[in-house]
Structure 1
Amino acid sequence: MSETADVSATPQSSLEGAAHFSVLPVRDSLGVQPGKLFIDGQWVEAGEGRYDQVHPATNETVSTFIEAGKSGVDLAVMAARRAFDSGPWPNMSARERKRILQPIVEAIYAAEDEIAQLQTLDNGMPITFSKGGRVSGRVAADMFDHYAGWIDKITGETFPRYTDTTNLHYMTYREPVGVVAAITPWNGPVMTFAMKVAPALACGNTVVLKPSELAGFAITKLADILAKSDLPPGVFNLVTGGPVTGEALSTHPGVDKVSFTGSPVVGEKIMSTAGHNMKRLTLELGGKSAALVFPDTRDVRTAARNLMGLCSTFLSGQVCSTPTRALVHRSILDEFIHHAAEQVRDVRFGDPFDPATTSAPIISRRQMDRVLSYVESGVQEGARLVCGGDRPGGSLASGNWVNPALFVDVDNSMRIAREEIFGPVLCVIPFEEEADAVAIANDSEYGLSGGIYSTDITRALRVAKAMRTGSVGINGYSVMPNSPAGGVKRSGIGREGGWSTIEGFTELKTVMINLDA
């Protein structure tokens, strides 16, 4: 057991006992209308009924969207299929395709403030992060810009003559994979829209996109920007809906590739059915990432506050790459716990459109209950709860708020250390030796990301290579449009970012020429 004294640290909220807030005035100021589907160049009323989108900060119904269902998906996939099989987009010159995509970049830049507000209206992300964070409209524009720049650089190879017995010469081409089903999550809808749609279009594919049923506003705005562009009809299509629509899209025989970001359970279902017609897949799934804090880290306080902050602010730990396991050397364990608990004092809950708010609510009541059940499980298994893990009251009681939880004396065999909680819970696990830390980090069915805090670059690189994960941050972590990210093991298949995404949205064709014929 750690000898550190218990620290009382509860997120502060000026709204405790104050007047309740509502997100509906922002909805009205933005002129949000009930959602439609965008199919074959037209906004249409189709599908199989409507559903409500509820805001997690207040549980107010904000608006409704169409459940596309099988019938709506069929229309969208047929439109995308026609646009790919007989339309101009796949065969368009690189110059012309760039000419069409480049104005989209400026249109997203011009609308970035509205996009930020709509994203916060979607999922309760604090407006400061929605405007200026790594999931903002500006980042989405950067991604479209990055992939528009790739269009005239998607090349194949030529190969040297291998034998004297034949005069065959070999070359390769990269061709678009076909109709892409892009399925995005609720937690970063703006960034993941761009991460999937921009490279798919740049490579000459056609797209049917389905956003999470929990977050449709910002993506509808982005879809409207594409609707007003010079993209030919059917090249981009938008369908909305829940699991029924998602399954209809991911299993549709007219789809050639599925690019999905979401839960491992859904990812496994997509993978199991993709073999029926050999769909290509990119799956970015869950994580239980570990951050290793060594005694030679430059500043224990900064490391502790960074790791606790990733769980307690922004989306409150609802990001698959969040390092929710802090592996801390015993010599600095007490100091780390003290600073991590102190960080929670800076958390501010409340109106997500208030710049003072630091943290998002849990996306749904169901997920909130799931997070609280994990907290209870951690206590029952013997971990010590230093702070948090309960719900605030007062004016916040109607929303899905959970006070950030800090667990210490955690063993890696506990459920809270092994299963993805997707909430504001940090588990602190002590270690003695570097090899032990690496073994604990790798003892997971996930492998999406990881972190290392150390001033010894030799050690940091050695440990980074030893960690079985798709990406590792040394003294910092972020995702950029030009660098690949993705997971191993249960965290997914494939990579998104840079040239790796171009490879994922193209098929490689080999052409042989007999020069003696």
Structure 2
Amino acid sequence: MTLVLDPLSPALLACLDHAYIDGQWLPVTGSERLPVIDPSRETVVAGLTGATGADLDRAVAAARRAFPAFAATSVAQRIAWLERIEALMQERAEALARMLTLEMGAAISHARAAHVPFAIAHVRAAIDVLAAYPFETLRGTTATVREPIGVCGLITPWNWPLYQITAKVAPALAAGCTIVLKPSELSPLNAIMFAQILHDAGLPAGVFNLVNGTGPEIGGAMASHPDIDMISITGSNRAGVLVAQAAAPTVKRVTQELGGKSPNVLLPDADFETVVASGVMTAFRNVGQSCSAPTRMIVPRDRLAQVEALAIAAVAQIRMGDPLDEGTVLGPIANQAQFNRVQEMIEAGIADGARLICGGLGRLEGLSQGFYARPTVFSGVTADMRIAQEEIFGPVLSIMAYDDVDEAVALANDTVYGLGGHVQSRDLEQARAVARRIRTGQVHINHPAWDAHAPFGGYKRSGNGREYGLPGFEDYLETKAIVGFA
């Protein structure tokens, strides 16, 4: 097949009615049309045909057939394939970035600087882990052997679509697993481009399979499928619960990266002139559509007025608009349903008595078309308010005040979630002490650089299992003890 190089190229459009199964693009048996909408213009740019359970069965059968041979490949062989995938992603980075802008509204600058390079970094991290991993260790006379778990069903979301695909596919391939991927039906086109990259990298037929469709139709069938050994899902809590319930009768492994309501604790000695602006931008990165976005800024009560003024000033510097404009910082919300959710939660904040200090309801001024939510900051937010407890997934920040550090930590931990967290302080030892007390799977101190090897996952209702780096790789392995080996 002609390489899929450009968004909406004839070759890509030809794949919209197909699944990638056993090394081929095969027509799906479904008839449901799933529109792909450009959120900046609210126009349908493509139509996808949803697959059916029969299509999924074909993909799972292909992955099952391919598993024994692929599991037996050498580390060197798998590294060679991953390096080829990495190189092809680098070659096609601009096309991938433009596709993400088209189908989910990421500002082109952000797609180029984060979405695509971070996705590539997951492939490189898998290579690095694989190259040094001891698959067999000996203690006394017992050998402990780590082996690929089998056929993996991977379910990925619409908000960081390519990034989440490689966070799952790369370590699964590195471990020697075979794969059936179901990306979000709301942003599926980058997944088609990625499937073509894996095809062009020369992966053996059946090792990677792509089936597009809805969560209820395909995701649920994957979770309950008796020939899938593991499910890894990134998505909402509701979807994670449904997948776990469907998977239970087959006792397969289920790893989940779900919702978050992450705190950003500003300690009294922090450089407020710097960290407030950074905190606003981190919360609003990807238009706030990140499960680990630090959308609760927890600040000393005696600095509240200063923080409010600095937050308002930071929002005023954000340029929103056409995501293809090189100067745009934030584009639109990715879809109509999520735009409506953001509006609902802004209404809830007002109704609960939080003080709206900037932004608010409705579309961004001057933009009558596109899902452009206004960057919004509330202050005077208390822990009993919906905006302090529920994941919003949009550019909405809640400022909460504390009187002492113990209260700050209590506020940080006072949600059902435990995915991410941030601490700001000039005193690194003090920041470390607070970070240790925050019950989340990842904590950032003083806005560090992103690390593809840092384990990512949740406490509490934010999920189980870990992605990225060594722990993410090991989630795709089984453990075998051979007693009397030596």
TM range (shorter): over 0.9
Match of 2:359 in 1: 388
1:261 and 2:261 matched: no
1:79 and 2:50 matched: no
Match of 2:185 in 1: 213
**Match 1:141 to one of 110, 120, 144:** 120
* C-alpha contact 1:290 1:451 (8 A) present in aligned 2: yes
**Match 1:48 to one of 30, 33, 36:** 30
1:465 and 2:447 matched: no
Distance change (3 Å), C-alpha of 1:29 and 1:340: farther
SS of the residue corresponding to residue 175 of structure 1 reads strand
CA positional deviation for 1:253: 1.3
Per-residue CA deviations over 1:486-507 (Å, capped at 9, x if unaligned) read 1100101011111101210000
- What runs of 5+ residues in structure 1 fail to find an aligned partner? 1-25, 162-168
Distance change (3 Å), C-alpha of 1:463 and 1:209: same
Match of 2:274 in 1: 302
SS of the residue corresponding to residue 251 of structure 2 reads coil
Per-residue CA deviations over 1:461-500 (Å, capped at 9, x if unaligned) read 1111111111111111454222211110010101111110
CA positional deviation for 1:434: 0.2
1:247 and 2:211 matched: no
Per-residue CA deviations over 1:337-380 (Å, capped at 9, x if unaligned) read 10101111122222111111111212222221221111111111
* C-alpha contact 2:7 2:95 (8 A) present in aligned 1: no
* C-alpha contact 2:457 2:467 (8 A) present in aligned 1: yes
**Match 2:50 to one of 67, 89, 101:** 67
Match of 2:3 in 1: none
* C-alpha contact 1:452 1:473 (8 A) present in aligned 2: yes
* C-alpha contact 1:295 1:331 (8 A) present in aligned 2: no
Match of 1:4 in 2: none
CA positional deviation for 1:265: 0.8
Match of 1:418 in 2: 389
CA positional deviation for 1:192: 1.1
- The 1-side partners of 2:314 and 2:236 are apart by 29
Distance change (3 Å), C-alpha of 1:344 and 1:160: closer
CA positional deviation for 1:332: 1.5
1:378 and 2:349 matched: yes
How many residue pairs get aligned? The number is 477
Distance change (3 Å), C-alpha of 1:31 and 1:206: closer
Q: Which amino acid aligns with 1:486?
A: G
Q: Which amino acid aligns with 2:379?
A: V
- The 2-side partners of 1:159 and 1:97 are apart by 24
Per-residue CA deviations over 1:157-189 (Å, capped at 9, x if unaligned) read 54544xxxxxxx210111000000111111111
* C-alpha contact 1:121 1:217 (8 A) present in aligned 2: no
Q: Which amino acid aligns with 2:160?
A: G
Q: Which amino acid aligns with 1:67?
A: G
- The 2-side partners of 1:490 and 1:268 are apart by 10
- The 1-side partners of 2:306 and 2:485 are apart by 71
Distance change (3 Å), C-alpha of 1:506 and 1:160: closer
Match of 1:12 in 2: none
Per-residue CA deviations over 1:61-84 (Å, capped at 9, x if unaligned) read 010122112111111111111111
Match of 2:379 in 1: 408
Per-residue CA deviations over 1:307-352 (Å, capped at 9, x if unaligned) read 222334x421110010110000012111111010111112222211
Q: Which moved more, 1:489-498 or 1:359-368?
A: 359-368
- The 2-side partners of 1:492 and 1:464 are apart by 20
Match of 1:507 in 2: 478
CA positional deviation for 1:296: 0.4
* C-alpha contact 1:341 1:386 (8 A) present in aligned 2: yes
1:105 and 2:86 matched: yes
**Match 1:33 to one of 13, 21, 27:** 13
- The 1-side partners of 2:10 and 2:167 are apart by 25
Distance change (3 Å), C-alpha of 1:486 and 1:478: farther
**Match 2:294 to one of 300, 305, 323:** 323
1:337-356 equivalence runs, <5 A: 337-356=308-327
Q: Which amino acid aligns with 2:91?
A: A
Match of 1:3 in 2: none
TM-score (norm 2): 0.94
- The 2-side partners of 1:376 and 1:149 are apart by 47
Root-mean-square deviation (CA, aligned residues, Å) is 1.8
Match of 1:272 in 2: 245
**Match 1:282 to one of 255, 265, 277:** 255
* C-alpha contact 1:324 1:427 (8 A) present in aligned 2: yes
Q: Which amino acid aligns with 2:158?
A: W
Distance change (3 Å), C-alpha of 1:45 and 1:429: same
1:486 and 2:457 matched: yes
SS of the residue corresponding to residue 128 of structure 2 reads helix
CA positional deviation for 1:32: 4.7
Q: Which moved more, 1:247-256 or 1:422-431?
A: 247-256
Structure having the larger proportion of residues in helix: 2
Match of 1:21 in 2: none
1:364 and 2:335 matched: yes
Q: Which moved more, 1:94-103 or 1:228-237?
A: 94-103
- The 2-side partners of 1:407 and 1:116 are apart by 32
Match of 1:125 in 2: 106
Q: Whose Rg is larger?
A: 1
Match of 1:166 in 2: none
Q: Which moved more, 1:61-70 or 1:428-437?
A: 61-70
CA positional deviation for 1:280: 1.0
SS of the residue corresponding to residue 326 of structure 2 reads coil
- The 1-side partners of 2:448 and 2:43 are apart by 35
* C-alpha contact 2:262 2:420 (8 A) present in aligned 1: yes
- The 1-side partners of 2:448 and 2:29 are apart by 41
SS of the residue corresponding to residue 51 of structure 1 reads strand
Q: Which amino acid aligns with 1:232?
A: P
* C-alpha contact 1:27 1:62 (8 A) present in aligned 2: no
SS of the residue corresponding to residue 420 of structure 1 reads coil
